[in-house]
Amino acid sequence: MGELMIRNVDDEIIERLKARAAAQRQSLEQALCEILIGAVRPSREELVSEADAICQLFSPPSPGIPSAAHLIREDRDNEESYR
């Protein structure tokens, strides 16, 4: 895992972060990692957009194109396919 060093952080900010970590019974490192993870987590809009893009990949076939289930049933019902 990588390391990150942040310089020139105001002492008051550091104390507030330490207090926040202590209130959550975490180390300062754990609390800062959670803050950073939350900061880069995709927004709701980004997740919806990604889900829409995935749904487009699996859009229903065009009208007139038989479904896979239809083709399988047709083949199964055709007695000559087993000879």
Instruction: Please state at what angle helix 11-23 crosses helix 28-40, rounded to 10 degrees.
Output: 100
* CA 61 to the chain's CA centroid: 27
* pLDDT score at 78: 80
* pLDDT score at 68: 83
* pLDDT score at 77: 82
Q: Is the pTM of this model over 0.95?
A: no
Q: What is the pLDDT along the chain (83 residues), one digit of tens a residue?
A: 899 999 999 999 999 999 999 999 999 999 999 999 999 999 999 999 999 999 888 877 678 888 888 888 888 888 665 55
Helices (H), the chain: 11-23, 28-40, 44-57, 68-77
Q: Are 28 and 22 in contact (CB under 8 A)?
A: no
